[in-house]
Amino acid sequence: MAHHQRSGRADTRTTTLTETFGRLVPHLRPIMARLVLGGLCALLASVVALTIPRVLGWLVNTVLTGEGAASAVWLGVAIVALLGAFEALLIWLRRVFVISPTAGIETSLRLNLFRHLQQLPVAFHDRWGSGQLLSRSMGDLSLLRRWMAFGSIMLVVSSLTVIAGLAFMFSSSWILALIYLAGAIPITIRAFKFRTVFRDASRLSQDQAGDLATTVEEAVHGIRVIKAFGRGREALDGFHAQAQKLRDTEIHKARTLAGFMALVVALPEVTLGLGLFTGLWLTADGQLLVGDLAAFFATAAFLAGHVEGIGMLLGMTLTTKTALDRHYEVIDSPATITSPDHPRVPENPAGHLVMRDVSFTYPDAPGAANVVDGLDLEVRPGETMALVGGTGSGKSTLLHLVPRLYEATGGAVELDGLDVREYDVEALRTAIAVAFEDSILFSSSVRENVLLGARPQPGRTADDQLAEALDVAQAQFVHDLPDGVETLIGEEGLSLSGGQRQRLALARAIAAKPRLLVLDDPLSALDVRTEEAVTARLRSVLEGTSTLIVAHRPSTVMLADRVALMEHGRIKDVGTHSELLARSAHYRFVIAAGDEPPSVEEVLDTEDTATEGDPA
């Protein structure tokens, strides 16, 4: 179970480094000046760092050996102290320049991602685990910040330092410098292979980390099932296997980096060894001055740290690149369900729903038969229409098409004479309220959950709206909760009973006061008594509000003016309950089935069923 993961990731096109980082440019432009200043500080700081030892040597040699006055000592001390303070100041400034703008970019990308995710269609979220999305929002972006604030700058500084150092080496001895430079050739060749392997490994590890987070999330949300079946061990085994895979990837990644770093550190030094050999020989031969030889090696020793740094930073850059790729993968998923440029407003908002030849297929099941297949249906203003059909016949799918949670792939869904695609999405969803079959609740208070979609109404307080909705949904139980309507109801409302959850979800839909109510099997978890009470109250509310309600039981059907019978994604028949009972065998089968569909007389004759004690 748990180890069987899919992150829903799209086919990952490999992008080049410049392509990926190029997309950052618009974000970087406004802070470019600060980044450059930060880089200059870093550069200057390393120049000062280089200077201090020289100044020390010079001071001791000239000032102290000169007149030998106490004032000279004080002067030297002052110079060194000032330089030292200057270096510290530069280091401090570097951070001041880059930290807050890069953290700003990190946060704005994070917010942007969240905003985009909220816009992405439900179909997208069906495929992506929240852990996977979360890892893109948190880990990946903080990696980016670090790279921008530290990695990129140090990469530039170190590269410049190495170039300057090389120039210095050439001035000491071009032969030795050439030997040293020759070491760069195998490293460069190796770097290409390293790039591919390391990039793939870091991508894999990021994806696996995301999947692992998804597993954690699922194991917590599904803990009741795991406990009910005592499958803790299997869940742990699955997690273990997955975590082990991540560890292996991480170690593989580290080994790749380790191999490369070993080369980056050892090879320049090996060529230096050859350089030492040659240098000594050249010096002995009189072609090279001892001072130049010493200077050459002093520079080389100084460069060693920077060369190592470049190697590390290269790894960091690749990791950041894959992180950024993952980020853009989500950002590039198109938000397909958006408002049109010129949304229209219906002339006569009465809650009149018409579906014409509507078809729908889930995007992850292309080629399969349509789930909704050329369906026609009309809900007249103020009418309550029940939708009846077998398990999996496409009822819930159809309901999702109305508020554009999914987009019909064919035909037209019209509300009050306008295609739903012509509405502003928000306006459309204001006109429609849904109670989902799995009552989706949030871990906030009862009040917040119920008033989630409610708009302020003239002359009525939020409390009135809340009280009315709770009353209709027969959710008076909330007043017995420890803090009444302010009680926090736990994650997904799981500290409530099933029927209590369902009534809150119903109350939420009612509180939204829509033109069209869409209720997906809203009474399934209620006992007959409560169902009756809700139905009675609901009937008065539904008066005047168009309603589409999925029903599995005759009792729910009773609410409806008319019933639509759905089978294989189509509406097979529309009529009143008794009409359908009379003329549709399939309807009798679905709504009142026995082993054999009972005859109309049997079903209608309550006296009979009572005496036989077999009402089904």
Partner 1 sequence: MSGMSGVAGEDNIELGADDRRRVRRRSLRLLKTLAGPIRGRLAGTALLVLVSAGARATLPLLVAWAIDSMLPRVIDGDLAALGFVGGAYVATAITAGGLLGVYTWAAANVSQAMLLDLRLRVFRHTQLLSLEFHETYTSGRVISRQTSDLETLRELLDQGISQLVSGIAFVLFTAISMFILDWKTALVVVGAAVPIAIIFRWYQVRSELVYRESRVFSARVITTFVETMTGIRAVKAFRREAAGDEKYTDVAHEYRDNTLRSISLFGILQPVLMLIGNLTVAAVLLVGGFRVLDGSLAVGALIGLLLTAKRVFQPIEAIAMFYNSFQAATAALEKVSGLLEERPTVVEPARPQPLPAAEGAVEFKRAVFGYGDGPVVMEEFDLTIPAGQTVAVVGQTGAGKSTLAKLIARFYDLTAGELTLDGVDLRDLSQDDLRRAVVMVTQEAFLFSGSVADNIALGRPEATREEIVLAARAVGAHEFIESLPEGYDTDVNKRGGRVSAGQRQLISFARAFLADPRVLILDEATSSLDIPSERLVQQALERLLGERTALIIAHRLSTVEIADRVLVVHDGRIVEDGSPSELIAAGGRFTSLHQAWRDSLT
Ligand X SMILES: Nc1ncnc2c1ncn2[C@@H]1O[C@H](COP(=O)(O)OP(=O)(O)OP(=O)(O)O)[C@@H](O)[C@H]1O
User: Which residues of this protein are in contact with Mg ion, per CB under 5 A?
Assistant: 396, 497-498
Q: Which two tokens stand for residue 222?
A: 């599904």
Q: Name the residue among 358, 406, 416 with its Cα closest to residue 566.
A: 358
Q: Which does 458 bind (CB under 5 to 8 A by kind): ligand X, partner 1, Mg ion, none?
A: none
Distance CA 388, CA 400 (A): 16
- Supply the Cα-derived Rg of the chain in whole angstroms: 36
**Measured CA distances, 491 to 445, 482, 499, 501, 520 (Å):** 11, 17, 16, 12, 22
Distance CA 147, CA 377 (A): 56
Q: Which does 255 bind (CB under 5 to 8 A by kind): ligand X, partner 1, Mg ion, none?
A: partner 1
Which residues inside 507-526 make contact with ligand X, applying CB under 6 A?
525
Residue closer to partner 1, measured from CB, 426 or 464? 426
Q: Is 488 helix (H, G, I), strand (E, B) or coil?
A: strand
CB of 525 to partner 1, least distance (A): 6
CB of 470 to ligand X, least distance (A): 14
Exactly one of 299, 322, 370, 397 binds ligand X (CB under 6 A); that residue is 397
Phi (first) and psi of residue 333, to 5 degrees: -65, 125
CB of 34 to Mg ion, least distance (A): 54
Contact, 469 vs 538, CB < 8 A? no
Residue closer to Mg ion, measured from CB, 310 or 398? 398
Exactly one of 16, 65, 118, 391 binds ligand X (CB under 6 A); that residue is 391
For position 135 contacting ligand X by CB under 6 A, the verdict is: no
What single letter denotes the amino acid at residue 570? R
**Measured CA distances, 406 to 119, 417, 562 (Å):** 12, 20, 25
Q: Which does 529 bind (CB under 5 to 8 A by kind): Mg ion, partner 1, ligand X, none?
A: partner 1
Contact, 358 vs 382, CB < 8 A? no
Q: Which does 34 bind (CB under 5 to 8 A by kind): ligand X, Mg ion, partner 1, none?
A: none
Q: Name the residue among 567, 571, 549, 570 with its Cα closest to residue 558.
A: 549
For position 505 contacting ligand X by CB under 6 A, the verdict is: no
Q: Name the residue among 153, 181, 156 with its Cα closest to residue 167.
A: 181
For position 500 contacting ligand X by CB under 6 A, the verdict is: yes
Phi (first) and psi of residue 80, to 5 degrees: -60, -45
CB of 395 to Mg ion, least distance (A): 5
* Residue, CB closest to Mg ion: 396
For position 394 contacting ligand X by CB under 6 A, the verdict is: yes
CB of 609 to partner 1, least distance (A): 6
CB of 446 to partner 1, least distance (A): 14
Q: Is 460 helix (H, G, I), strand (E, B) or coil?
A: strand
For position 365 contacting ligand X by CB under 6 A, the verdict is: yes
Q: Which does 609 bind (CB under 5 to 8 A by kind): partner 1, Mg ion, ligand X, none?
A: partner 1
Q: Which does 5 bind (CB under 5 to 8 A by kind): partner 1, ligand X, Mg ion, none?
A: partner 1
Q: Name the residue among 84, 104, 101, 97 with its Cα closest to residue 41.
A: 97
Which positions lie near ligand X, rule CB under 6 A? Answer: 126, 362, 364-365, 371, 389, 391-397, 437, 495-500, 525
